[in-house]
Structure 1
Amino acid sequence: MRASPSIRGGQTSADRALAAFSVAGYAARRSQVLPEIDRGASRLSPYIRHSLVPLSRAWEHVADGPARDTRKFRDELLWQEYARHLYARVGVALHRNLRFAAPWAGEFEPQAWPHRMHCIDSVVSELETDGWLVNQTRMWLASQYTVRSGAGWHAGQEEFYRHLLDGSRAANLLGWQWTVGAGTGSAYGFARWQVEKRAPQLCRDCPLARACPIEQFPVGAAPVPVTDAPANLTHDPHLSDTQGPTDVVRRRAPRSVLLTVDSLGDADPALAAHPALPAAFVFDEPALARLRLSSKRLIFTVETLQDLARRREVVVYLGDPRVIVPDLDAAVTFAPVPSFARYAEGAAVLHPWPWLVPPHSGSVASFSAWRRASAGV
């Protein structure tokens, strides 16, 4: 079992990372890859993904920053919120390409990431070792895997999901679909000039420098529109289901607080509302057997629970949540993911999800369409 050498789990680590982050220079340097000291990415995404740093807290943290940098950082937070809205609405349909008939099925094809290419080898190594990548290199790998190699995007995103500490179905599935053209109609093309701009030393040290397979920008056919895209992509007839409860739902007196991977932080509404109750967490054994997550992801969760245990009682279970949860009489915070159903069924008290932007019934077919329909964004 190996932990990420650079990002550790826990509310204490999250608070420290947020306090150390200055948004100044973010807009210009967020996509820088090498040298690492010049990277401007916040590295907050693992803590945001697990709500150790809620989106609203990250939003307020940069309120006094330079206008251009604050605006760009907040745009990225809104992209995360958009991904959550989309996944909450369309559910498992997000596992297929929503807008275009780009290839998505098939087994993972490791040869689609040729390790003779230094830009690919170094990034895959960072993915597998650290469990975190800057957004620029995520796009490199996704484009190389799909647009250039022609492999099905879903298996590639599964490999990302196994390793990334910030791996979420919402953002991960959306990001890979965006790479192959969903929402834009144009695939993201990976080419040498991008490496030369963001990490020129990778090209200098590459054995293929004089015969670079990505020398030219990839040219492909326009994506073919999907005819059976989900009907609720442009209008939500069940907004209350997408949003979840807007008030606390009390079914019986709780004896514990149940945490989920989507909400592990001290600011979890159920946890904050019941400070005297023990916290519980269920490692979903059937899901873990299916997903085969890397040890980095599991250790991040364990570290987070260990950190919480310094402040209150924590009880950890291993098994099927549908069997374990009903006996916990737990208060739990709604999570906008399809898998939350296995926790909601047996919950004693259900707390609302702390949305940064309230869901709406308008179009979520693209980020821009979602944003236009979102009040005050």
Structure 2
Amino acid sequence: MRSSPGFRGGQTAANVALNAFDVAGYAATRNQVLPEEARGASRLSPYIRHGLLSLKQVWNAAAGPVSDVSKFRDELLWQEYGRHLYARVGMQLHRNLRFDVAWSGDFTPAAWPREMACVNWALSNLETEGWLVNQTRMWLASHYTVRSGAGWMAAQEHFHRHLLDGSRAANLLGWQWTVGAGTGKPYGFARWQVEKRAPQLCAACPLNRNCPIENFPSNTVPRPVAIPNPLLVRDDDLATTRGPTTVTERSTPQCVLLTVESLGDEDPALLAHPQLPVVFIFDEPALEKLRLSSKRLVFFVETLQDLAERREVIVHLGDPRQITPDLDAAITWAPVPSFEKYARTAAEMHPWPWLAEPHAGSLKSFSAWHQKLTQPK
């Protein structure tokens, strides 16, 4: 199996990455693509996605120029917004929420023409390293759908298969935003963006004199969906969206069960039971369906190997619905639909460590969500 050349799984690697991150200059350079040494991106996202670093921990660690800290924390809030949105609407996030943009259809590799240096370079990074700066994610998403007219869901699955930080919340939200399905304003990918963020790619491109993205694509405004999703406006079941707010105990736990949402040493259930063995289940039915790249699987293995240096770790391969009833496990609740398969037979449930508590107000946009978040209670 092949690992990522740029990332190693595990709490030790996550701590090293967080301690090495310097937020100074982040606001000006977070979107820089090449040269790599000029990038301001934190490269913390794989560790945040799998709970090796919590959003609150990273938020508190950010220290430096006010403008850079503010911009960095704003990006963390986008992550939290995606989690709130996914926790509320669940699997409905797999379809267009507000505007009618093509989402279905088979994966169409031709929508990412490899003869374009910018596209080929970005795809190569996705498929070998399993990580992309946000700018190149938008380039690929925009070219696939806005320019090529292909449905975004299949390409989103390709991202999810390879990205070490691939989460349904962040990935689906990012694609909907880029193709205009969430805002009605598609992101237009054009040559000037490559020349600004990665001029080396244009200079070496065989299509340099006949660039297919010389200008912005035609600005087509998506139509609103016929029936807006009422969950975007109000949550009438906030308790379910938010999850438990206190520890609930059904019986005495015999182990701690970790999920891919929360693999860090500061997992609440793990902290509460420092003497218990730790269990992780490689979800065989899900793996057969998702066909994750070896990079993602190796990242999980590396994380478990690192944890095994401090705790007893037991690994299962199979269906969690069949394995969990016999575990009597303590577990941390997670804001994803798939958590249901772990929850029913848990001996003890711990609350999710939100950066910001979910509210029942509008999630139609990040600004609407954030405005409600900051209103006095």
Q: TM-score, with normalisation over the residues of structure 2?
A: 0.99
Cα distance in 1 for partners of 2:227, 2:272 equals 43
SS at match of 1:317: strand
Q: Kindly state the Cα deviation for residue 147 of structure 1 after the two structures are TM-superposed.
A: 0.3
Cα distance in 2 for partners of 1:376, 1:292 equals 43
The amino acid of 2:132's aligned partner reads: L
Give the equivalent residue in structure 2 for 1:295.
294
Give the equivalent residue in structure 1 for 2:151.
152
Give the equivalent residue in structure 2 for 1:249.
248
SS at match of 1:68: helix
Q: Kindly state the Cα deviation for residue 287 of structure 1 after the two structures are TM-superposed.
A: 0.4
Cα deviation digits, residues 18-53 of structure 1 (max 9, x gap): 000010000011000001111110000000000101
Q: Kindly state the Cα deviation for residue 219 of structure 1 after the two structures are TM-superposed.
A: 1.0
Give the equivalent residue in structure 1 for 2:14.
14
Cα distance in 2 for partners of 1:375, 1:278 equals 40
Give the equivalent residue in structure 2 for 1:97.
96
Contact 2:96 2:182 in 1 (8 A): no
Cα distance in 2 for partners of 1:22, 1:121 equals 30
Residue pairs, 1:1-377, within 5 angstroms: 1-62=1-62, 64-375=63-374
Q: Kindly state the Cα deviation for residue 230 of structure 1 after the two structures are TM-superposed.
A: 2.1
Structure 2 unmatched runs, 5+: none
Contact 2:2 2:294 in 1 (8 A): yes
Q: Kindly state the Cα deviation for residue 172 of structure 1 after the two structures are TM-superposed.
A: 0.2
SS at match of 2:104: coil
SS at match of 1:374: helix
Q: Kindly state the Cα deviation for residue 134 of structure 1 after the two structures are TM-superposed.
A: 0.3
Q: Kindly state the Cα deviation for residue 181 of structure 1 after the two structures are TM-superposed.
A: 1.1
Cα distance in 2 for partners of 1:155, 1:100 equals 18
Specify whether residues 376 and 72 from structure 1 end up closer, same or farther in structure 2 by C-alpha distance, changes over 3 A only.
farther
Contact 2:100 2:181 in 1 (8 A): no
Cα distance in 1 for partners of 2:244, 2:342 equals 14
Cα deviation digits, residues 287-340 of structure 1 (max 9, x gap): 000000000000000100000000010000000000001110000000000000
Q: Kindly state the Cα deviation for residue 221 of structure 1 after the two structures are TM-superposed.
A: 2.0
SS at match of 2:224: coil
Q: Kindly state the Cα deviation for residue 204 of structure 1 after the two structures are TM-superposed.
A: 0.5
Specify whether residues 144 and 360 from structure 1 end up closer, same or farther in structure 2 by C-alpha distance, changes over 3 A only.
same
Report the RMSD for the aligned CA atoms in angstroms. 0.9
State the percentage of identical aligned residues: 68
Q: Kindly state the Cα deviation for residue 105 of structure 1 after the two structures are TM-superposed.
A: 0.4
Cα distance in 1 for partners of 2:334, 2:103 equals 26
SS at match of 2:99: coil
SS at match of 2:374: coil
Cα distance in 1 for partners of 2:260, 2:354 equals 16
The amino acid of 1:129's aligned partner reads: T
Task: Give the ranges of 4+ consecutive aligned residues of structure 1 lying more than 3 Å apart after TM superposition.
Answer: none
SS at match of 2:79: helix
The amino acid of 1:281's aligned partner reads: F
Q: Kindly state the Cα deviation for residue 228 of structure 1 after the two structures are TM-superposed.
A: 2.4
The amino acid of 2:153's aligned partner reads: H
Cα distance in 1 for partners of 2:299, 2:122 equals 21
Q: Which moved more, 1:226-235 or 1:34-43?
A: 226-235
Structure 1 unmatched runs, 5+: none
Q: Kindly state the Cα deviation for residue 346 of structure 1 after the two structures are TM-superposed.
A: 1.2
SS at match of 2:305: helix
SS at match of 1:219: coil
Q: Which moved more, 1:189-198 or 1:215-224?
A: 215-224
Contact 2:247 2:350 in 1 (8 A): yes
Cα distance in 2 for partners of 1:198, 1:223 equals 28
Q: Kindly state the Cα deviation for residue 180 of structure 1 after the two structures are TM-superposed.
A: 1.4
Cα distance in 2 for partners of 1:278, 1:375 equals 40
Q: Kindly state the Cα deviation for residue 258 of structure 1 after the two structures are TM-superposed.
A: 0.4
Contact 2:98 2:183 in 1 (8 A): no
SS at match of 2:257: strand
The amino acid of 1:294's aligned partner reads: S
Specify whether residues 37 and 376 from structure 1 end up closer, same or farther in structure 2 by C-alpha distance, changes over 3 A only.
farther
SS at match of 2:114: coil
Q: Kindly state the Cα deviation for residue 182 of structure 1 after the two structures are TM-superposed.
A: 3.1
Q: Kindly state the Cα deviation for residue 376 of structure 1 after the two structures are TM-superposed.
A: 6.3
Cα distance in 2 for partners of 1:343, 1:228 equals 33
SS at match of 1:174: helix
Cα distance in 1 for partners of 2:74, 2:182 equals 17
